């Protein structure tokens, strides 16, 4: 396995420009720095049919969302409820705006991007509570926006993949309409961080062990939260009766082993999951479509899987 030249270029540029690691900053600084960095290597000026920012009500206050409709337009479109990555501490609708626009256009379906509460201001389990609330709101209300409430999927990258898996588990356990599909992009599934890939890839590929510990320190309230399935869905008692999933991993990502373990357990316990590894890639690559060609390949694969699920 060889690091992809484009991924290596991204890492080298950060070193050459002496970009400070996020874990050396306080949370406020890291949030601002990530927003700036996210705009540098994403696709630029992606057109969209329509985009609307609004808030959905939640038990802990309003939840900001952004609804994208594709350039192709149309009525009664299916919906992807998207949860952005960023370690449950950084990231926003804006950091993943280009990605959501691209997905909506390529899929010819709507995307609802959720700005859930994050640490350290709002510790676990605020994020999964908001994400589930936004999903439930979509099920109950999205038809008033001219969209198809019977065809709703969930998806997200990294922390967003974690939250997509958790929302699917919560929907199952609470007996509400399940998502038709889960698009889990290099998801964090086990906060223990004790896999072989965590050991082998702890340094040098953007998502370092120190950064992951920094995220956990700003997100989790105590060590006991590590074993809570809402933080570590791999710790759920059962992964049966879940929506089908596409799980994508990167070869140089410490999260890859726990994502594969989630896929294995889903299939073993009667759910259906497929796994694709992008062997030369690093964590976060799908949001770097302006610099990494395989980001667009991974998006195309995810979109095709969602389209197939929406057709069934």
The CATH T-level fold of domain 5-311 is: Rossmann fold (3.40.50)
Residues 113, 158, 164, 271: which is the catalytic one? 158
User: Which DSSP string corresponds to 139-151?
Assistant: HHHGGGGTEEEEE
Number of other CB atoms surrounding residue 277 within 10 Å: 17
Helix (H, G, I), strand (E, B) or coil at 219: helix
C-alpha torsion 156→213→40→187, nearest 10: -20
**Euclidean distance between CA atoms 245 and 238, whole angstroms:** 15
pLDDT average per 10 residues of sequence, the chain (312 residues): 94 94 97 94 94 95 97 92 98 98 98 98 98 98 98 98 98 98 98 97 96 98 96 98 98 98 98 98 97 97 98 92
**Residue 106 CA neighbour count, 13 Å, CB half:** 18
Helix (H, G, I), strand (E, B) or coil at 217: helix
Task: Verify whether residue 253 is a known catalytic residue.
Answer: yes
Task: Verify whether residue 198 is a known catalytic residue.
Answer: no
Give the pLDDT of residue 131: 98
Would you mind telling me the total number of residues written for the chain in this entry?
A: 312
Sort residue 89 into left (φ over 0), alpha (ψ -120 to 50) or beta: alpha
Scan for tokens 């501490």, then name that residue.
Answer: 89
Helices (H), the chain: 5-16, 27-38, 97-107, 126-141, 159-174, 196-200, 209-219, 256-268, 293-311
User: Which DSSP string corresponds to 258-274?
Assistant: HHHHHHHHHHHTT--EE
Domain spans of the chain, in order of start: 5-311
Residues 253, 257, 271, 275: which is the catalytic one? 253
Give the pLDDT of residue 27: 97
**Residue 310 CA neighbour count, 13 Å, CB half:** 23
Give the pLDDT of residue 1: 73
Indicate whether this model's pTM tops 0.85: yes
**Euclidean distance between CA atoms 306 and 310, whole angstroms:** 6
Give the pLDDT of residue 206: 94
User: Which DSSP string corresponds to 179-194?
Assistant: PS-EEEES----TT--
259 neighbors 197 (Cβ within 8 angstroms): no
């Amino acid at each position: 396995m060889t690091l992809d030249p484009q991924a290596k270029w991204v890492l080298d540029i950060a070193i050459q420009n002496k970009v400070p690691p996020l874990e050396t900053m306080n949370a406020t600084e890291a949030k601002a720095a990530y927003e700036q960095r996210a705009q540098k290597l994403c696709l630029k000026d992606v057109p969209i049919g329509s985009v609307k920012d609004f808030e959905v009500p939640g038990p802990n206050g309003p939840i900001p969302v952004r609804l994208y409709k594709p350039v192709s337009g149309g009525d009664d479109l299916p919906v992807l409820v998207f949860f952005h990555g960023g370690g449950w501490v950084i990231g926003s609708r804006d950091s993943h705006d280009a990605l959501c626009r691209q997905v909506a256009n390529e899929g010819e379906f709507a995307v609802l991007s959720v700005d859930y509460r994050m640490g350290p201001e709002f510790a676990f389990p605020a994020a999964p509570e908001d994400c589930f609330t936004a999903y439930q709101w979509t099920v109950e209300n999205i038809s008033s926006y001219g969209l198809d409430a019977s065809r709703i999927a969930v998806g997200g990258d990294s922390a967003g993949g974690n939250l997509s898996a958790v929302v699917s588990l919560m929907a199952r356990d609470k007996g509400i309409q399940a998502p038709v599909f889960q698009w889990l992009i290099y998801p964090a599934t086990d906060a223990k961080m004790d896999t072989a890939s965590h050991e082998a890839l702890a340094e040098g590929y953007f998502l370092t062990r120190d950064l992951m510990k920094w995220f956990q320190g700003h997100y989790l309230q105590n060590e006991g939260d590590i074993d809570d399935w809402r933080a570590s869905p791999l710790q759920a008692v059962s992964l049966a009766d879940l929506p089908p999933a596409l799980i994508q991993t990167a070869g140089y990502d410490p999260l890859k082993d726990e994502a594969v373990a989630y896929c294995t357990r889903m299939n073993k316990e009667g759910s259906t999951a497929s796994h694709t590894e992008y062997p030369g890639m690093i964590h976060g690559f799908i949001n770097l479509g302006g610099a990494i060609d395989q980001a667009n390949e991974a998006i195309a694969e995810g979109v095709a899987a969602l389209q197939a699920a929406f057709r069934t």
